[in-house]
Amino acid sequence: MSSQKSTAESVEMRAPKRERGRQRVANLLAAASKIIAERGYDAATMTAIAVEAGASIGSLYQFFPTKAALAEVLLDQYGARLGDRLNALLALQTGLTTAKMSEGLVAMMLDLTADRTAVMAILDARDAGPEAGEARRQLRARLEDGLERLLRIVRPDLKGDALVSLRLSLLYMLKAIPAMVGDAPQLATQVRDDMTRALACYISG
Amino acid sequence: MSSQKSTAESVEMRAPKRERGRQRVANLLAAASKIIAERGYDAATMTAIAVEAGASIGSLYQFFPTKAALAEVLLDQYGARLGDRLNALLALQTGLTTAKMSEGLVAMMLDLTADRTAVMAILDARDAGPEAGEARRQLRARLEDGLERLLRIVRPDLKGDALVSLRLSLLYMLKAIPAMVGDAPQLATQVRDDMTRALACYISG
Amino acid sequence: MSSQKSTAESVEMRAPKRERGRQRVANLLAAASKIIAERGYDAATMTAIAVEAGASIGSLYQFFPTKAALAEVLLDQYGARLGDRLNALLALQTGLTTAKMSEGLVAMMLDLTADRTAVMAILDARDAGPEAGEARRQLRARLEDGLERLLRIVRPDLKGDALVSLRLSLLYMLKAIPAMVGDAPQLATQVRDDMTRALACYISG
Amino acid sequence: MSSQKSTAESVEMRAPKRERGRQRVANLLAAASKIIAERGYDAATMTAIAVEAGASIGSLYQFFPTKAALAEVLLDQYGARLGDRLNALLALQTGLTTAKMSEGLVAMMLDLTADRTAVMAILDARDAGPEAGEARRQLRARLEDGLERLLRIVRPDLKGDALVSLRLSLLYMLKAIPAMVGDAPQLATQVRDDMTRALACYISG
DNA sequence: TATGAATGAGACTTCATTCAT
DNA sequence: CATGAATGAAGTCTCATTCAT
C-alpha cells in the first residue's frame, strides 16, 4: 500500500539509462530541497539548485520544465511519505488508542525530516503556480483524510462540526511541532513528550 | 500602558512632518499589509503596494527607504499591539487563573487581526533583511517574555526546561490559532472554544 | 579690474532681504562645493546639498533652478578668482620674468583651494548640461587667454603653433599640480619647488 | 613578457567557457570602453553598453556581475598593457638615457590609446566601488613601480623624498599628455616633442 | 542529451524637479 | 518665501526560461 503512484515514469528503455536518470533526478530533488529549505521558495533560484546538484541549468530543465513543477514533485514526495505513515497508523485499526495515536502522529512529524523544511517553504509561498497549487491541495487532502479516519477510530462519538474542528486543530498543531523542536533542539525530547501529552489530552477532549 | 518605545515611529523610516504625510504613511502601511498578506512577502512588490495605496512609487520610498524597513514597521506595529494585550493580561496579577489566561491568549490572537497575516508572511520570509531581522527578534522576545511572566503566575511550580518547553509549545500553538480559524471561518466559535480548552488543559499540565 | 561681473543680480530691494539671500546663496554654494568635491558631480544629490546647507530642497531650488545652474555658478566663481590671479600676474607687465611667472602660476593653482576639487569634478562630468557647458567653456577661455597673454610677455619670440602648443601643455600641467600635492601632502613644498622649476625650464624652452 | 598574472581573466568576472562567449566578452568590453569614454563612468549606463554591443542587458550581466566589475576589467586590461610597455623600457637597462626614457614614456602614453579615455573616466569616478578601487590601486602601483625603477637607472643619485617627488610629478605629467594631444590633435607632433623635451629637462633636474 | 549562453520582463531603488500648503 | 511631500523616468541587477551548439 505504498505511496500511491508518486512520479513513476512509464516503464521502458534499458535499465542503465533509466538508472542514471533516476539518480540524476534524485540529486536534483535533494539539491532543490536543500536550497529551498535554506533560502525559502522565492529566493531559491533554479541556477543555485543546479549548482548545488552539480548539474547545468539546462540539465535541470531537462527534468523539470518549471520551478513550480520541481516544487510539485517535492510536495508529492513528501505527501507520499506522509501517506505511508498515516496508513501505518490506520493499519492498527481497533488496537489504536488515543495515546498511541498521539504518539504516532508526533513521531510521524518528527521522523519526516527530509524535505520537510522545503515543503513548508513551498507551502508558505503563495505564488508557487497552479501546478504546485494542485499538489498542495493533494498534500493537504491526504493529511486531512488520514486524520479524519484516525479520529473516527478513537473518537467514534464525534460527528459533524465537532469532528471537523478537532481535525482542523490537530492538523495545525501537528504542523507546528517540527518548528518547535527546530527552535530548541536541546529540548527535543521534552517538547516531544509535552506535545504528545497535549495532543492526547486534546484528542480525548 | 503602551508597551515599550513609541509603537513604530522609532524605527528607521523617514517620519512625516506634515499632517498630509501622516495620513499617507497610514495608507501605505495598510496597503502594504494587504498586499503582503495576499501575496506573501517576496511576491509583494513595492510597486503593487504603492498602487494599492494610490501613491506613486516615489512617495512610498519617501517614507520607507527599503522594503525591509516597511516590513519592520509592520512588525513593530503588530508587536506593540501584542505587547499591550499581554500587559493587560498580566495586570490581572493574582486574579489570573489558567482558564482566564487561556481564554485571554486565544482572544488576543483572534482580536489582533489587522496586519496579522502580513506579519506572518514577513516572519516566514527568510530574506527580509537585517533590519527586519531585528524587529523579528523583538517581536518574538515580546511574546516570549509575556508568556513566561504569565506562566510564572499560573504555574509557579514550573522551573527550568519544563517552563521553557511549555512556553515554547504555547508560543507555537498560539501562532497556529489564527490560521485554523482563517481556514474554516464557519467553525470559528467552535475552534475558539476547542483551542481555549486545549490550552487550558495543556497549561495546567 | 576685479572678476568681470560674476553673478551680480540687479541692484534693488532693501538691504536686509538681499543680505539674507546673499548669505543663503553663499551657504548653498559652499555646501554644494563640499558635497560635489566629496562625491563627484553625478553622485552629489541636490538633497544632500540642501541638507549640508541646512536648507530645504525647496529652498535650494528657489535659488538655483537646476543642478547644472548650481554647477555653473561654482564654475563662474572659480573662474573669477582665477581671472583675478591671472590679472595680478599680468599687471607686473615687463617686470615679469620666466621664474616669476612660473612661481606665480604654481602659487595661483595652490592658493585657489576653495571650490577647486568641486570644479574639477564638474569639469570631469561629461553631462553637466548645456548651461554648465557654457560656463566650462568660459572658464577654459579665461585660463587660456591669461596664459597666452603671459606667454607673450616672457616669450615674445614664440608665434603660431609653437605658442599654442606651449600654452596647451602649460594649461594641463597647471591643472595637474593640485592633484600632485593633494596626493602627497607631506611633500607639498618639495613638489611645489619641483614644479616651479619644471615649468620655468619648460616655458623658457 | 606579459606583466604579472593573466591580463584580466583573473579578475572577478564570470569567465566564458565557449568560443562564442569569449567573442561576446570582447565586444562588451569594447562597447563599455566606448560608452564610458563618451559619457563618463557614472553617466554610462549598463543598458547603453549592452545596446552598443548588440547584446541584451542579461547577456552583459552574464559576464560582468556588476558595473564596477566591468570597470575593473577595463582597468586591468589597460594596466597590463601599460606594464608591458614599462617592462620593455626597463629591459633597455643601462642603455637607457634620460632622452630615451622621456621619449619612451611619452610614446607609451600616446600609443596606449585603446581604453585610455574610459580608464581615465573610471579613475575620475569617486564611486566605482571597492572592486574597482582595488584595480585602481593596482594600476597606480604598476605605474609608480615602473617609474621608480626607471628613475633609479637614469638618476641613481636621487634618494628619498627627492625621488618620490620626482616620480609623483612625472606620473601626473604623463597622465596629462593624452589629454593635451586629444585637445589639439592638429598639434599632435608639436605637443609630443614639447612634452618629450619638457620631461627630459625635468627628469635630468 | 548536455551545456551554458541569451533573453527580457520586472524588481528594487534613486533623484531631479514640481507643487500644494 | 519656505517647506517637504509627490512624481515618475531611469538605473542597476536578478532570474525563470529558451535555444544554439
User: Residue C86: which of C8, C26, C165, C140 has the closest Cα?
Assistant: C140
C136-166 residue pLDDT tens: 899 999 999 999 999 999 999 999 888 999 9
Nucleic strand E within 7 A of Cβ C43: yes
| pLDDT score, position A5 | 42
Q: Is D in contact with B (3 or more beta carbon pairs below 8 Å)?
A: no
CA B194, CA A89: separation in Å to the nearest integer? 24
DSSP state letters, chain D: ---STTTTTTSSS----SHHHHHHHHHHHHHHHHHHHHH-TTT--HHHHHHHHT--HHHHHHH-SSHHHHHHHHHHHHHHHHHHHHHHHHHTGGG--HHHHHHHHHHHHHH--TTHHHHHHHHH-TTSHHHHHHHHHHHHHHHHHHHHHHHHHH-TT--HHHHHHHHHHHHHHHHHHHHHHHH-GGGHHHHHHHHHHHHHHHHT-
CATH for D5-204 is 1.10.357.10
Q: How sure is the predictor about D197, in pLDDT bands with cuts at 50, 70 and 90? A: confident
Long-range pairs for C110-114: beta carbons < 8 A, 24 or more residues apart: C110/C177, C110/C178, C110/C181, C110/C192, C111/C85, C112/C78, C112/C81, C112/C82, C112/C85, C113/C178, C114/C33, C114/C81
| pLDDT score, position C40 | 93
Nucleotides on strand E lying under 7 Å from protein C-beta: 1-21
- Is the pLDDT at A11 greater than 50? The verdict is no
Average pLDDT over residues A73-87: 94
Q: Which of B121, B126, B184 sits opposite A39 (nearest CB)?
A: B126
- Is the pLDDT at C3 greater than 90? The verdict is no
CB contact under 8 A, D187 and C164: yes
Q: How far is A197 from chain B (nearest CA, A)?
A: 8
Pick out the nucleotide with least CA–C1' distance to A64. Answer: F17
Q: How sure is the predictor about A131, in pLDDT bands with cuts at 50, 70 and 90? A: confident
- Is the pLDDT at C7 greater than 70? The verdict is no
Q: Which residues make Cβ contacts (< 8 Å) with residue A58, sequence separation at least 6?
A: none
Nucleic strand E within 7 A of Cβ B51: no
A51-65 residue pLDDT tens: 999 999 999 999 999
- Is the pLDDT at C14 greater than 70? The verdict is no
B38-96 residue pLDDT tens: 999 999 999 999 999 999 999 999 999 999 999 999 999 999 999 999 999 999 888 89
Pick out the nucleotide with least CA–C1' distance to B64. Answer: E13
CB contact under 8 A, D172 and C180: yes
Q: Is D in contact with A (3 or more beta carbon pairs below 8 Å)?
A: no
Task: Find which of B172, B180, B187 to mutate to test the A interface (most A CBs within 10 Å of its CB).
Answer: B172
| Percentage of the residues of chain A whose pLDDT score is greater than 90 | 68
Protein CA at A41 to nucleotide C1' at E10, angstroms? 18
- Is the pLDDT at D172 greater than 70? The verdict is yes
| pLDDT score, position B2 | 43
CB contact under 8 A, A168 and B175: no
| pLDDT score, position C104 | 95
- Is the pLDDT at A179 greater than 70? The verdict is yes
C32-85 residue pLDDT tens: 999 999 999 999 999 999 999 999 999 999 999 999 999 999 999 999 999 999
| pLDDT score, position D11 | 57
Strand E, CB < 7 A, residues 92-121 of C: none
Question: Could you tell me the residue ranges of all domains in chain C?
Answer: 5-204
Residue nearest to nucleotide E19 (CA to C1'): C58
| pLDDT score, position B11 | 57
Burial class (CB in 10 A: 0-12, 13-18, 19+), A20: exposed
CA C54, CA C23: separation in Å to the nearest integer? 12
B160-188 residue pLDDT tens: 888 998 999 899 999 999 999 988 999 99
CB contact under 8 A, A172 and B166: no
Work out the mean pLDDT of chain B and round it to a whole number. Answer: 88
| Percentage of the residues of chain B whose pLDDT score is greater than 90 | 66
Q: Is A in contact with B (3 or more beta carbon pairs below 8 Å)?
A: yes
Residue nearest to nucleotide F12 (CA to C1'): D46
Q: How sure is the predictor about C11, in pLDDT bands with cuts at 50, 70 and 90? A: very low
Q: Contact partners of A by the rule of 3+ C-beta pairs under 8 A?
A: B
C181-199 residue pLDDT tens: 998 999 999 889 988 988 8
- Is the pLDDT at B202 greater than 70? The verdict is yes
Which residues from chain C sit within 8 angstroms of residue D202, using beta carbons? 198, 201-202
pTM of the model: 0.88
Q: Is A158 left (phi over 0), alpha (psi -120 to 50) or beta?
A: beta
